[in-house]
Amino acid sequence: MTVNAWLWIGAIAMAIGAAVQLVIGWGPRTRDVENHYLLHLFVCLAAMASYLVMATGDGAIHLADGGPNGRDFYFARYIDWSVTTPMLLLGLGLTAMHSPFRRWAALLGVLFADSYMIITGLFAGLSPVGSSQKWLWYLVSCAAFAFVYIGIWGLFREEARKTSDEAASIFRTNATILSIVWLLYPVVFLLGTEGTLFMGDVPTAAAYTILDIVAKVGYGIFSLLETKRKAARELAAG
């Protein structure tokens, strides 16, 4: 398989993910379902655009470092992540918080740390392979990532426990999936063409595509169905 094939797989998977969510969320919705519907649908649509621009050859720049032939740096991924990761975290925050407005500063803090992680991650990706500044930016980005985890497992979890047993349990499942899947991104960066070149461009593209499908399509559909089930239970209970 080629890098391009993986990018097309990403674009098609995101389109299918968006279509499936469109169907799941169709019809009358509670506010809770609507929140998750819009967030997860737009996550897939944003990623679909990003995969399309990469697959059609306009989402990367060619850099001279990283081997005799240089390397393609897919900046479009970082634009995608800068939009989609805050949306996914907002979705997780909403499963935890009865009223996000009560702790809006905490919520914004987590989203800010997340943006910081992606932007400094972009600097890490752009800087020359083998340079010391690459690892400086990588560490800064990882530090921001640690703040995101502190937000999830500290503030968000505390809020979920206060909200209800059901919210706490849903939150725990979602936060666990998200935490594990997200942790693999810096590992792919480290091993791939942006990091140590341990993996070539095809495995790097494959790994990011698979992670994106799990983190956006898989997690999105899971979270949307879960919210619908919760709404149905609430309706039945009156």
Q: How far is the CB of 84 from ligand RET (least distance, A)?
A: 4
Choose between 190 and 231: whose C-beta lies nearer to ligand RET. 190
Which range of residues in 30-38, 100-108, 127-135, 136-144 is near ligand RET by CB under 6 A?
Answer: 136-144
Q: How far is the CB of 222 from ligand RET (least distance, A)?
A: 14
85 binds ligand RET (CB under 6 A): yes
Which range of residues in 19-27, 50-58, 98-106, 114-122 is near ligand RET by CB under 6 A?
Answer: 114-122
- Selected binder of ligand RET within 50, 84, 193, 223 (CB under 6 A): 84
Choose between 5 and 190: whose C-beta lies nearer to ligand RET. 190
Alpha-helix residue ranges (DSSP H) falling in 3-130: 3-24, 31-55, 75-96, 104-126
- Of 137-176, binders to ligand RET (CB under 6 A) are 138, 141-142, 145
The whole-angstrom separation of Cα 1 and Cα 182 is 25
Residue 82 amino acid letter: S
Under DSSP, the state recorded for 29 is -
Q: How far is the CB of 188 from ligand RET (least distance, A)?
A: 7
Residue 72, beta-bridge partner list: 62
The whole-angstrom separation of Cα 63 and Cα 78 is 16
Q: What is the DSSP string of 130-191?
A: T-HHHHHHHHHHHHHHHHHHHIIIIIIHHHHHHH-HHHHHHHHHHHHHHHHHHHHHHHHHHH
Choose between 51 and 185: whose C-beta lies nearer to ligand RET. 185
What SS3 state is found at 73? strand
Residues 6+ apart with CB under 8 A from 27: none
Binding mask 32-71 for ligand RET (x = CB under 6 A): ----------------------------------------
- Give the pairing type, strands 71-73 and 61-63: antiparallel
Under DSSP, the state recorded for 61 is E
186 binds ligand RET (CB under 6 A): yes
- Selected binder of ligand RET within 10, 33, 185, 227 (CB under 6 A): 185
Q: How far is the CB of 100 from ligand RET (least distance, A)?
A: 20
Q: Which residues bind ligand RET (CB under 6 A)?
A: 81, 84-85, 88, 117-118, 121, 124, 138, 141-142, 145, 182, 185-186, 189, 212, 215-216
